[in-house]
Amino acid sequence: MSKGSGYSLSVRNFYKKAKIPLELMLPSSRTGFTKEINVSTAEQNSSSVKVWGKNEINTHRRNSPKQRREFVRKKIQGTACFILTEGLCYPDEVKRRAKTKRIALFRTPLSKKKVRARLKVIFSSHGLKQMTLSGGLLRVFGVGVLIIGDSGIGKSESILELITRGHAFVSDDVVQIKKTPAGHLTGNAVSLSRNFMEIRGLGIINIKKIFGAKSACRKTSIDLVISLKKWEKGKEYDRLGLKFPETHEILGKKIPRISIPVAPGRNISTLIEVACKVFLLKEKGYHAAEEISEKLDRVLAAG
C-alpha cells in the first residue's frame, strides 16, 4: 500500500489518451507501457514525460561519446516516457538506454511548443476521469467521506473506530476515484487492498472477516472530505463554524471539506460523525452557527 499525495496514469493509458491529440507514433515495441506517470499537476509531468526537440538532439550530437552517455543518463532518470517532436529520430544511445530501462519512446510531427501545450490539457484534472489519492474512504450515516491527512495523524485508527460503530469501510491508504458521466465522484479500493487495513501494532487486518459482510462496501460516492490536521498551539480556530465548509477540488469538482485539528484527548471518530450530521443538516438548509448568531444579535438588540 504505497502512500503519496499525487496520482498516476500508466504509459499505456497515457498513449490511449494522447495518441490522437499529440499525433503519437507507436514505438516498435510496447516496452515501458506499464510504467506510471505522475500526473498530480501539469508542472510535475515535465519530469515524468520528457519532451525533446531539435535543441536536445543537437546538444546530444555535439557532445563527446562520454558526454552523450552522461547526458542521456541524467535525462532518463525518473522518466516514464519520451516524446520526440518535429518528426525527428532518436539517437542510438537514447534507444539503447531506453530499452535497458524499459522506457517508451514516442515520436510526433508536432512542434515541441504545441506538444507541451496539449500535454497540459491532457494532464489537467478536467481532462481526467479517474485518479488515485492517499487517504481513507467510508460511508458514515450514508455520507461518502474521504479522510485525508499527514502520515501518522491517526486516519486508519479513526476509520477503524468508525467501523466498530457500524459505518461501512471502503478503502484505507489508497483510494481510486472516478468521475461519472453525470459529474459525480465515486471511490473504491485498489483490488489488491480491498477489505484490508494496516494498523500500527496490529499489521494488516481483513475488515470483512473480522466485522462481517455489512462492515464493508465496494464503492461509495464522495460527498465530503475531512482533513485531519495536527493541532497548532496558539492558532485561532473557527469555533462557530461560520467558515464551514471549505472546498476540496478533485477531478475538477469541488467537494465540501472540513478540517479537524487533532490533539490528545479529542475523539476524532466522534467529531467525524458529528461533521457528517452537520453536513446532512446543511444539505437540508440548517446552519447551527447562523442560528446562534441570530440569537446573539437578538440578545444584544434587546439589551
Active-site residues: which are they?
A: 155, 173, 239
Distance CA 55, CA 90 (A): 13
Distance CA 132, CA 7 (A): 5
C-alpha cell of residue 19: 495518441
Strand 36-38 versus strand 224-230 pairing type = unpaired
Q: What is the DSSP string of 142-196?
A: TEEEEEEE-TTSSHHHHHHHHHHTTPEEEESSEEEEEE-TTS-EEEEE-GGGTTE
Q: Which residues contact 14 (CB under 8 A, 6 or more apart)?
A: 37, 49, 80, 81, 122
Distance of CA 192 to the CA centre of its chain: 18
Cβ–Cβ contacts within 10 Å for residue 136, how many? 27
Is residue 74 within 8 A of residue 59, CB to CB? The reply is no
Q: Which residues contact 37 (CB under 8 A, 6 or more apart)?
A: 8, 9, 10, 11, 14, 45, 48, 49, 80, 81
